[in-house]
């Protein structure tokens, strides 16, 4: 299947949130991406498969921002290496209101020397908030890079009362 064919099978919607405009994309399998306002990548022109997943994601994100949801229940359509997917699964095990270091995530997936690779997998996470890469911090407790910016990461952690 070509990239164009895949894009034509996608649906998307935008929503306003306390951290700015978010764009949610999905295919027939589930959510593929959540974009922050600073992401200027072109959007698919067609709205096809996945519209029900987009609506569900908007509903759950609104509940999250309104303090009514602490754990997302969404089908995800992930595209990444086996290592990246292991990291993304582990990120979803970080409890709401908690944080973990890159090293702790690496140890949890039995790759204790792979903290930098965990950081790269975080960087490739296209479904932030739902796959909570914002909960990953440096081993010294410092906030580190985040696609939505460090102010957004700080806001999300404070929203979850994560002690930041």
Catalytic residue among 24, 133, 156, 162: 133
Q: Of 77, 1, 7, 15, which is closest to residue 45 (Cα–Cα)?
A: 7
The pair phi, psi for residue 137, each rounded to 5°, is -130, 170
Given a contact cutoff of 8 angstroms between Cβ atoms, the answer to whether 93 and 108 are in contact is: yes
Question: Quick count: other Cβ atoms within 10 Å of Cβ 26?
Answer: 29
Taking CA 57 as the corner, what is the angle to CA 55 and CA 59, rounded to the nearest 5 degrees?
Answer: 70
Q: Is 133 a catalytic residue?
A: yes
Residue 143 is given by DSSP the state -
Catalytic residues: 133
């Amino acid at each position: 299947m070509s990239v164009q064919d895949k894009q034509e099978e996608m649906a998307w919607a935008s929503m306003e949130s306390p951290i700015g405009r978010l764009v949610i994309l999905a295919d027939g399998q589930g959510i593929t991406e959540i974009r922050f306002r600073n992401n200027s990548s072109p959007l698919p022109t067609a709205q096809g498969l996945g519209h029900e997943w987009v609506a569900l994601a908007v509903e759950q994100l609104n509940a999250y921002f309104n303090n009514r949801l602490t754990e997302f229940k969404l089908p995800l359509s992930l595209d990444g290496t086996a290592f990246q997917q292991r990291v993304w699964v582990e990120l979803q095990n970080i409890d709401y209101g908690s944080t973990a270091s890159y090293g702790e995530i690496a140890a949890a997936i039995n790759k204790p020397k792979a903290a930098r690779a965990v950081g790269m997998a975080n960087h490739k996470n296209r479904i932030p908030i739902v796959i909570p890469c914002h909960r990953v911090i440096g081993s010294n407790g410092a906030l580190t890079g985040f696609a939505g910016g460090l102010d957004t990461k700080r806001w999300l952690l404070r929203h979850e009362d994560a002690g930041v």
